[in-house]
Structure formats: structure tokens, C-alpha cells
Structure 1
Amino acid sequence: MVGAATNNLRDVSLEVPKKALTVFTGVSGSGKSSLVLDTIAAEAQRLVNDSYPSFVRNRLPQLAAPEVQSMSGLTFTALIDQRRFTGNARSTVSTASDTAPLLRLVFSRIGEPNAGYSPAYSFNDPSGMCPVCEGLGTVVDIDIDELIDPEKSIDEGPVRFSQFRPGVYRWKRFAYCGLFDREKPLKDYTDDEMDLFLYADQLKLPNPDPRFPKTARFDGVVTRMRDVYVKNRPSKISKPVREELDRLTAQRVCPECGGARVNAAARASLIDGRSIVDWTAMSVAELRRLLDGFSDARVEPALAGIRRTLDALLSVGLGYLSLDRESSTLSGGEAQRVKIVRHLGSALTDVTYVFDEPSTGLHPADVQRLNQLLIRLRDAGNTVLVVEHHPQVIRVADHVVDMGPGAGSRGGEVQFEGTPAELRQSDTLTGRLLARPLRLAHAPRRPSGEVLVERASAHNLAGFDAAVPLGVLTAVTGVAGSGKSSFATDELPRQHPEFAVVGQDPLRGGVRSTSLSVLGVADDVRRVFSDESGLAPAWFSFNSKGACPACRGKGYITTELAFLDDVATPCDECGGERFNERALSVRVEGRTIADVLTMTAEEVARLFGDRDEIAAKMRWLDRVGLGYVAVGQSLDTLSGGEKQRLLLAKHLSGVTDLSRERIVLDEPTTGLHPGDVDRINALFAELVEGGATLVVVEHNLRVVAEADHVIDIGPGAGVDGGRLVFAGTPAELAAHPDSLTGLALRIASGAAE
């Protein structure tokens, strides 16, 4: 590769060894992803697409060429990133991992009584799905009492849903059907009239009003709502209408199948007393143990395939998942590991596999298993490229590329190339931090009190009691799936509501929301430009008057390709800046509103230094470790960890008395370089010194080592976890013989090898 300049890369030229495991590291925002994902992987994918015939190529996503002078030696590239699975309710862990077809095959061959061929055991096939919920496991009920106002007549609008208000199309359907007295309140309807009004289905009308559609038949209000808004909920729906539907409908377990999704015949077909529903409801670890003692020559090849997949899921630390879990509920890290499993059995060789921080969400004990998978892929004759911060992953690399020296405009250069041992001897920030053993906190701060969590039993928790000290930093640790989050984000705030949870839940807003809007300073920035120009603040919003007329403020034009992914191309009119010419004609200190959105928090704070309502919140954004992110970057492009730190900045910017703050954080260091983790540790220490109580769910040993108190949950995941393993200081945990976290601390601090 010669002269790469994608995003913040500064004319990078690099040779990456083939059929080796290469790790790209560096501080957050240094250019690792720009180099690996946006340049190497993007160009490889573009060239593969160009190899197809034009008919196929025109139906594939049109990828822009990365900014690079030349590249050679590229191979077919598979990108395994942390994008979550789509929100398709018909996708589960079993379907996503390709286990479902093998399970159905086994039951169709040896299940008794036999329900039929393989599709008869599928909740996605009409021959196997439950007829009531159509294979979803849940049904949506319409709350009639909430929907209908019996005191009102048709002319007065008896349906409490805006899409049926008087005068609109759907109101006219029952107003002009000729079946009802439009002036009579619904409470005076006979039972037959009310049944028709609510549940009529394609009724041929004997004497409709001339204004009723001539070719149409009459559907009741509930029937129409089910067809239009429940069974086939529109993909594009306004926020007010969505909120109305949430109020008028409720989702519950299907009364026919009890959530099993398949029909009665599939549920009744058993192997040794268990149905396919029972098999998929087990955790991966439980099902694997069951299959250890089970064999049948008629289906042995299928059973062998299931065992291989289950072993792969176990090896990436997903033994606690059940196969019937919806794939859309998996975290980004869990989804990435399921994708890894798909590739492990591939017969392809000389493939380039690109991983984006695969250790995310993994305990050090699980990272060791991840390393073995990466090595397996390499040893099968493939090239493995990994964007990663984790010291354990860096340690097993054949080759390391360290990017930096800083983030954003201060990064984009190759600081080091060589082996992990050579990196530790180098003078780069990454090298110095890797060479330094972890220091355990031996003098923890004294708590100001404590709260007791009693009989913790959420999810897999075994009903233990645990004290959480106040006024200090507590780390909650354990392997993935052990019950850490269940304890800290479910049980603790449920029993003690004064604890505020700052988690990684999706932020609403997507492409039209930014860090500025989340922090509540977007309007303040617009007012500055408004005062400068005399134009209304709406002219400086890409969601209002200031929007580019061509792309409507998105910065790109989306082309829909039917069954394929939509294709987005930069808007030619605004060049991706999102604003129209009038908005861009106004400047503050020489900067347009579009320029401001490309700045980092530090730059924005400097530009608006005389406006504390803006600068103060920008400083919080920098302090939580998001100083490298452009303040105008869309929320849908941020990782889970970045979104959580953004929410933390929002929370802290509104704090007036730290001594009253009790905050729970769920893995806030996700995606951070060790140097950035040290900055977060410094912020945590500052908050605690100010009197705040912090409870942090973490795998990162740099955070655990700095904690005043550690609650370790385990010892394993799922049914093998959920118990209190240890409570005490990090130094005491490192000496604990039965804790995997303690063992990891001993190794990282140099006390064990």
C-alpha cells in the first residue's frame, strides 16, 4: 500500500505480511480503522465487486475508492465487525450460526411422533410455524379500552388514534359504510353493532353511502389496525404515530405456543423426552453436554455438525447464550463472535479476515480462547488483520502496526512496525504501557457507608447478598455472561433507585442526531450563528431551513435496490456538508456551521470559549474520552462504548452536587486504548474524590486494578455463574485461588506467569 490518505491518514505507505496475524493498535482515533477497515478492506471489497458481470455489479453496493495512491496483493476479504444483527424477529442464534437446519434435520429423522420433513420444525416456514403468532412467539394485542371512547359518536371521533380521526380516509371508511348511526354514542350500540364496528372483516356492504369507495369492502377498526399497523407495521412511521401505537398496543407471549414459535406437531415430536423447543431453549453449554451422551447412526453427520458449531460458540465465550435467543438482542461484541463461528469451518484459504476489536465484552479468560481462534484462521492459510487494544491479543500477533501519535488530526501516522516484543521495547505510548506491569491499588479509599443488595436473583443470579460501598469506586467483574450486568444494572438500581444507570442502550436519533444535540448545546451553537447573521436559528439546522435541498440535510443520497442493501453516495450539491448555500455563507471566527460539526470537542470549546453553556459541556465530552470524535458525527456511527461515554458526559454536565451522585456504568472503556483508559481512571478518581459513588461493570484490568472495591461474580457463565465469588480489594482478589479475574490480575501485575 502506497500513499493512503483516507480520513486522518497522512500519506501512509505500508507492507502487511500475508498469511500472518497482524494487529493494528494505537490510541482511539489514531487511524487504525481508517487504515484497515476504510482502506484495505474497502478496496478489497470494491475490487471483488468489480469482478462480477455488469448485471450483478449494478445491483451491488457502489463503494467509493479509498484515498490511496496504489495497492497490490489484495485477496478476497471478509470483514467481521461489531455491527449488530438487524432487528429481524425471525433471526435467532441458531439461525445466525447455521445450527437451525441441522437441528431440524435431526428431529425430522428421529423425532417421535414425526411431524414431517425439516420445514415442519421451522418457525419460519408455514408448515412448522405456530398458526396464531405466525412463528414469532408473541402476539400484539390492541387495548380496546384505550382505543375506543364509548361516550362519543362516529361524528365526534370515538377512536383515540390520529389515523382514524374525523375527516381522514380511515374515518370515512366506517362513517360512510351505512351500517351505523353516526350520531349515536358507541356505548348505545348493540353487541352486534359493536362487533361489526370493531371486528368486521371484508364485509360486503348492502347500502353504503355514495362517498364510500365503490370497489372496497368494510373492515372494522381493530381489523384494519391489525392489518395496517400490527401485522405489517410500516417501516417509515412518524414518532407521534409510533408513540400512539405503543400506547394502544401491548405485546404478550403467544397463548397457543407459549412462545415456542412452532406448531403443536413440532412441539410434540420428541427425542428422549425433549422437543426441538427444549433443545434450543438450553444454553449452548447445556446442549453441548446433552449431545456428549447422545448418538444415533441415522443422524450422526448432522449431530457432528451441531457439536462443531456449539464447540465454536463455546470457544468464543458464548456458552451462556441459548439458541432460541433473538439475534437482534445480542451486543455488538456477541454478534461479532457469532460471525466468527460462521467462518471457522470454511474450506476457503488465502482469505484476508479483518476483525474490528474482537475482544470487546470479553473477560481475559475468554480472550485467550479468542486468540486460539485467530491463530486457527491464520494456520489455515489465511491473512488475519485485527484492530485491537487488548494486550493479550497484541501479545500473540506475528506483526504489530502501531498508529498515532495522537488522535484525529494529531494521528494518522505509523509509529511502529515489528513484533510484540519489539513493540514493548519501543518508545511509543502503546509500547511503554505494554512494558509496564499493572499496579494494584493497595490503599483503597475509605467508604462513607454502604447499601445492601439482598437475594439478587435477576436472570441467572443465584440469590446472594452483596454490600456495595458508598463514596468509592466499585468494579463488578466476571466472565461474559456471569451475571455482572444483571447485578449492577438490574438488581442494584431496582433495590436502590437512587443509582442512575448509564448503559449502552441505543440512542434515538440516528443519522440526524449528533453529540451536540444529545448534550443539548446544538441550539446554543445555532444561536451564535443567528446573532452573527440576523437569520433565524433554524437556518443553521440541517433538519430545518438550513438543510441542503438535494439530500435534505443527510449529506448523502440513498438509492434503494429492492432486495439488496441501500446504496449511499455523497451529495453532489452540498459535498456532504448537509447545509444549503445560505447557511454556509455565514461565518463565526471564519468558520461555517458545517466546519463546526467537523471539529472535536476541544476545538469547539476553544471557538466558543466565551460561552460557558457550550464550552463547559464540550470539556466534559473531552474528559470522558471522546475528544477524538467530531461533534457532528451521526449517532448511528458511534460504538456502544462511545454512546455510553456520551451519555456519561451528558449526565455529568448537569450535576451540581457530586456527593449525591450514585452512578452505574456498564463497560465504559469499550474500544479504548490503555492510554485512554488511564484518562478515564483519572476522571473516575476525580468524581470519587468529589464524593460520588461509582459502580463500574468492567473486564478491563486497568480499571479493576484502580478500584477501591471489587465484586467478582461467576465462576462461569449462564447456569455456571450467578454466584458471588469474591468481594474485597483488587490486591485481595489477585490472591484469590478460585477467581478467573484474580488469576488475570496476578498475570498482568507480574505476580504470576
Structure 2
Amino acid sequence: MDDKIVIRGAREHNLKNLDLELPRKKLVVFTGVSGSGKSSLAFDTIYAEGQRRYVESLSSYARQFLGQMEKPKVDYMGGLSPAISIEQKSTSKNPRSTVGTITEIYDYMRVLWARAGTQHCHKCGKPVGAQSTEQIIKRILDYPEGTKILLLAPMIRDRKGEYKDLFEEMRKDGFVRARVDGQVYELDQLLPEEGKKKAEISLDKKLKHSIEVVVDRLAIREGIESRLADSVETTLEMGDGLLIIQVVDGDEILMSQRSACVDCGISFDELAPQNFSFNSPKGMCPTCDGLGRRLEFDPTRIVRDPSKSVKQGAIGPIRSVFEQGQKSGWSRRLRSQLRDVAEVGGFSLDTPFGKLTAAQQKLLLEGPAPRDRKGLTWRGAMPMLKKWFDNTSSEGMRTWLMDQYMTTVPCPACSGGRLCPESAAVRIGGRSIVDASQFSMEQALQFFEALYGESNDKKRKNSNGSISNGHVARKLADLPEPLSKREMEIAGEVLKEIRGRLQFLLDVGLYYLTLDRAAPSLSGGEAQRIRLASQIGCGLVGVLYILDEPSIGLHQR
């Protein structure tokens, strides 16, 4: 019995009182024509009973969080193990999901870069270091004389709560003001008066708040050096090494004793895994919100037939303005604007668009530069479309504009990397987390093994440097030096997890995928292999795996 799965009297769906014995720890294939009962036996009987029995073995508290399957119609089943099903289905359609996130490799990479990465300045590229108190004071004294500033010590950053005790503690320490969510208040406004239960300004405990204590308010002038030094030291002590310089009616600068670029005057927060998450406000690119791509108006879709002239309708959104019978005020204005811009640009509206010079085409599509307008009211086809897109309240209009004239392009700010500049400037072995995500699986494994200190020349099954199904791995150029002993104490276990998961993906033939590959772009076969690799990587033994058509979408090789 221990070496068999025994089924007696299976009657689920179209099964006809089936008796069957299956060998354990073997690969068993159910094959047959559509409707012959393969899925009814594999999923609705064997998997359902194995899963049901496992869930029943848990406590009643744990069972309430798990969906329990109905008992299949079967007289007897024996020799079952806990069952896991891997169904044939497409991967997530969420544009934020990548190969790295669905395999959880990227989660480990975020921890690695946060713990062992070196922050570089995203403007000058130099490694950044801590700022001394003297450097911070000098930075403040560099403001023009008369500049009014606030010195703020960060106390709470994006955390929920009312913080009445914190405000009370500030008042006991002799402070008078605090900035809450960007607004400066008297502490008396944030605390209830004696005999009253409610303060003038109350914080919603369900919302996240940022709170800074106002340590000093001063104007830059001669003779304030001593006072400024005392205030800076107090602020850094209160803010745990952080200080915010808020110019009244101006910008603010975060200064840090931990990490800052002296040349550019930029301070950096302490690194955390959230800084490398493109789904977190701390890490995502502010231009594309962490998607890596954005919709832009495409000149090739605006002008679909360059052999036509402007009068013949070459420019899609205004192709009808020169048609006979167009007498609306809008059409008359556009005709006048186009004639003016053609005169300034030195071309005819009867000339095919494709025969115009690049500068003339740009004049029609993007409009004249502000300094060259000289009374022209034409602003360009693309700015006009953008204005329509931004100002319309109709979702139908917005969808039509996207379908007709827009295309998805890499984000110009992050070049498709999804992260903000500060996070993309953190490096390990000379590479950012964006760089490592763009490696193929085999190159990524070489990179992380080099960090771990292992040779990349040894032969491994289906791995770099070896031949797998006729594929010879490409060696990554400029391999990094191994991490130091101290860094390995911090990152050794994380590197081990990353290397193991990458190896499993190589074992199922996905050597060519990159970790930043968008999940919706994966084929069915690639998604199936990733699911298989994820299960293999768990390291469980004695588990009953039920695979639904595992070869669909996979290459015959």
C-alpha cells in the first residue's frame, strides 16, 4: 500500500465507478481524447481528496483561512500525499508583475541591495558618505543673507497614529511648533486645552502622517554661527542623524549624518528594501509610477500615410479641416493657423508630408519653439492631442485617442528601469539592481556566484559554462569581485536563495529570460515552466504534484 495510490469506485463527473492503482514516486501520465475524464480523475478526484485530507489535518482556526474542497464521489482512496496542483493558465495580467516578482527572486535582490549596496549620487555618480555637523552648518550659511529657514527634526515618517503622546513630549522638551504633513502648527493646536478632550487639530489615526519638530527658526545673517551650531546639533540628535532645512516659501533639503553627496548637496535616506520596490512610493519612478513604460503620442500613428499632403489629410486628427464644406469656426481657425505656419516654415500645404524636411515636419507635429512663435497660434498636432487627452472628461474620448494615436514607450526618466534615480544609483559589484534585472538568467547566475566567490568555469547541469539542449551559455563580461567577509555575513543567506532559484529556472530551460521581463508578455509555456521551477525550488519531498497539460506551449525539444 505504501508504494501505491489506490482508488476504488471513482464516480466524479463522467467517471464510471473507476478502480485504479497508481505507483507512488513515479511520473504517471493520463492521456486520451477530450472529455475522456482525465481532469476529472487527476484534479477533481485525486487532487481534491489529497488537498481535502491535508486541510482537515489542520486546526479549525487555520481551516477558516483556507478554502476546503468538497469530498469527491469515490468509495475509497489510499496512499495519498499532500497534493499541489499546477494548472495550465496564463500568468498575471498585472503590468507591475515581472519574472523577478513572481519567482520572488526580486524580493531577495531588494534585501541584498538594501543591506550590502553602496549608495552613489544619482547626479555626479560618486559614492556618497556621511556629512559632518560642520558641513551641514556650512551648507546652511551658504544661503543668501536674509534667507529665512526652519530647522526640522524628522520624528515620524509615513506612519499611522494620532501621536498625542509625542506632541506632549515635544512640549515638555520646550518646543513650540511641529510640522505635520507639510503644515506647521503650534503644539497648542495639536494638544487639547486643559479641561477639554479634543484638540483644535486632530490627526486621523487611520491615515499615515509625517511629523517633524521645529527646532529653530532663523534668518541668515552675520553672527548666528554659535546659535546655528547649537540648533543643528539639537536637530540631528532629535532626528536621529537627519535634519531638514525648510526655506520659508521655498524648497526644503534633507541633510544626513549618514549618507550625503558633498559636491551636489544631496542627502540620502538609510537604505531599506522598500527603496528598491517599484510598487512603493519610496522606490518607484515618479514619472511612470513604477511601470517602466508610459503612453505617448506616436508621430507614425498621427501621420499614417506620408505620401499625402496636409491638405489631403496627412495629419490624422485634423485631416478633415480642408475638406469641402467645412465651414465651422474651428476649421477656419485651423486652416488659418496652418497657412501661417507653412509660410513661416517655407513649405506648401500641398507638398506630401514625407517630402518635407525634418524641421518642417517637426513644426507641424510639435509646433514652434516658444522663442520662434512670432505671433503664430499653431501649437502642433501632438500638443493639441495632449490637451484634448488631459482636458476631456469622457472616458470614451480618452480611449479613442489612446487607440488611434498613442503607443507605449519606455519611460524617458528611468529608461524602463521602473525605479527612482536615487534607488537606481545603489550599486553592488559596480551594478545597480536595474542592471542585474536586465541580465539573462544565466548571466544573472554568473553575477551572483561571482559575488558569492564561486568559480563560474565549473560544469553544472543546465548551467552557465555548460551545454544544455544544445545551448552554450554566454559568459558575463566584467564579473564583480567577491563580497567582503563582513558583507557575506550580512548577505550570504540571501545570495544562496537567489542562486538556488536562478538555477531551477535554468534547469527548466529559461536561460534566455530576464528578471525584468513583464509577466503579461510571457507565453503559456514560459509561465508553466516558471511555475514548475517555483515548485521544484521549494525542496519538498513526498509531495503529490498534479500537472494540467504540462507540455502545452513548450517547445518539443
TM-score for the superposition, normalised by structure 2: 0.47
Bigger radius of gyration = 2
Relative CO higher for 1 or 2, CA cutoff 8 Å, sep ≥ 6?
Answer: 2
Name the structure where strand makes up a greater proportion of residues: 2
TM-score for the superposition, normalised by structure 1: 0.36
Name the structure where helix makes up a greater proportion of residues: 1
